[in-house]
Amino acid sequence: MNANLYALFASHFPEDKSSCCMETHDGRYYSWDDVERASAKMANLLAGLGLQPDARVAVQVEKSPEALILYLATIRAGYVYLPLNTAYRASEISYFIEDAEPEVVVCSPQNFGWVAQIAFKAGTKHVYTLDAPLEGRNSGSLLNRAMAYADTFRTVHKEPEDMAAILYTSGTTGRSKGAMLTHDNLSSNALVLKEAWHWQKNDVLLHTLPLFHVHGLFVASHGALLNGSKMIFLPKFDAAQVMRYLPRTTVFMGVPTYYVRLLQEPGLDQDACAGMRLFVSGSAPLLLDTFSEFTRRTGHTILERYGMSETTMQVSNPYTGKRKGGTVGLPLPGVDVRVVKADNAACAADEIGDIQVKGPNVFKGYWRMPEKTAEEFTADGYFRTGDVGRFDTDGYLSIVGRSKDLIITGGYNVYPKEIESFIDEMPGVVESAVIGVPHAEFGEAVTAVIVLKPGVQLSEAGVIATLKAGIANFKVPKRVHFAEELPRNTMGKVQKNVLRELYQ
């Protein structure tokens, strides 16, 4: 049997392939036939490039139906999809391209100059834009080139353990790690979620999440593709626009920030959500206030789930049965989740410990980092998530913190270490500490505390402007504070908890 993820999707496409698979905000419709034919054309193009069987196709493009089709084409042709956050700048992109050595890079036309330069230097042979004309010509665009290819393609045979995608997760100690996900990781998780969330025949998914992250690319898109359900495919989340589409939708998935913003819409009430079946939240903690207020306003109980790039989804509140606010729910079928103490002994109910997970959803390791991979697995094969939590007496898991010091702002992960190293390179800076402080809209706001050399003057605005030029916007601190020194414990470690209290 062919374990290719695309083959699984194709076997669940609706009988009537002229029906709508994706509808856009500007009135475009893509039928299932369109998706099948366009992905075949692109797969034929990719297959004609003479790539290695495990060639990486790195993609940094704005969200569009064509971007999703490129993902499907890459999988279909048997290559490895590597999505990159659209906010990444040159220093970030260089690292990913040098590390992953993609044979194909697809980028936005406005970034073509610098991305192509980085890619060609790293040995990438093929650099394209996706669909937009390049300096008035669109000969370099992948879509334009794909037109010349046949619209049928025999989906490449893959084994379950073959790699389908690499998702880069920022590393706490500097380097980002590429999580290698297999066809089986993605297929098994999509099948489990189809059952767990009771996907139904007439579901319509309102898709507003980005396509470079596990939530939008896998959880949301896979759910609809595997169920043959239409997606209303919006380029980004916009609360007012979501309000307009809710009456035509049954399923919505978002990060907590989206729910905070929806609650600011005066029109959000039971009537507006009358046709809705399911609201899912994840990627960051959903505040109990948001959870309760959403129920009060709409009559719907948000279903919170927990996953990560390395494991896709592992824990979810139930579809039927109690959805408990402040918890991420119960382990999904087939996924083994445990909470353990430092010596790996299981914690009792309500006891806090490290969350570890094992199952068909767990990735096969970090790209070209065998030692790091070995470190992150226990002797008995559990992956150390880096999250800290506890099970309650009913078996519901709550996440209480992160041992890896990660900041999650608006659903995006920011690793303090990375931002600190950028700040520390600025002239006049002695050292810095980057922390997350509670923020009503973003969950956490990135905040920097900087110690300057004597006599040096730097302004908050100046530091922010310098960082904005170098790193993705979501990572740039919202506030910058200057301090005489950083608080340290006896081991010399910066006490970030003290800083968090001081600056929250």
β-pairing, 353-358 vs 383-391, is antiparallel
What are the DSSP E strand ranges found in 370-442? 383-391, 397-402, 407-409, 412-414, 429-439
The size of the interface with ligand AMP (CB under 6 A), counted in residues, is 20
Helix (H, G, I), strand (E, B) or coil at 28: coil
243: alpha, beta or left, given left = phi > 0 and alpha = psi -120 to 50?
alpha
* Stretch binding ligand AMP (CB under 6 A), from 61-69, 288-296, 300-308, 434-442: 300-308
Which of 185, 187, 385, 409 touches ligand AMP (CB under 6 A)?
A: 385
Q: Does 339 bind ligand AMP (CB under 6 A)?
A: no
**Please, which residue, 144 or 290, has the CB nearer to ligand AMP?**
290
Helix (H, G, I), strand (E, B) or coil at 260: helix
Can you tell me which residue has the tokens 């706490």? 172
Contact call for residues 286 and 304 (beta carbons, < 8 A): yes
- Both structure tokens of 162: 């073959």
Q: Does 39 bind ligand AMP (CB under 6 A)?
A: no
Which of 92, 103, 162, 304 touches ligand AMP (CB under 6 A)?
A: 304
Which of 216, 228, 282, 359 touches ligand AMP (CB under 6 A)?
A: 282
- Both structure tokens of 330: 């119960």
Q: Does 306 bind ligand AMP (CB under 6 A)?
A: yes
Q: Does 399 bind ligand AMP (CB under 6 A)?
A: yes
Q: How far is the CB of 447 from ligand AMP (least distance, A)?
A: 19
**Please, which residue, 23 or 376, has the CB nearer to ligand AMP?**
376
**Please, which residue, 260 or 284, has the CB nearer to ligand AMP?**
284
Which of 129, 309, 314, 432 touches ligand AMP (CB under 6 A)?
A: 309
Enumerate residues 160-189 that contact ligand AMP by CB under 6 A.
Answer: 169
Sheet holding 104-107, edge to edge: 126-129, 104-107, 56-60, 80-83, 163-171, 174-182, 365-366
Contact call for residues 8 and 108 (beta carbons, < 8 A): no
Q: What is the CA radius of gyration of the chain?
A: 23
**Please, which residue, 403 or 489, has the CB nearer to ligand AMP?**
403
* Stretch binding ligand AMP (CB under 6 A), from 49-57, 261-269, 303-311, 475-483: 303-311
CA angle 117, 418, 119 (to 5 degrees): 15
Which of 188, 373, 413, 447 touches ligand AMP (CB under 6 A)?
A: 413
Which of 65, 83, 285, 331 touches ligand AMP (CB under 6 A)?
A: 285
Q: Does 387 bind ligand AMP (CB under 6 A)?
A: yes
- State how far the Cα of 210 lies from the Cα of 430, in Å rounded to an integer: 37
β-pairing, 163-171 vs 174-182, is antiparallel
Which residues here bind ligand AMP, judged by CB under 6 A?
Answer: 169, 214, 282-285, 304, 306-309, 328, 385-387, 399, 402, 406, 408, 413
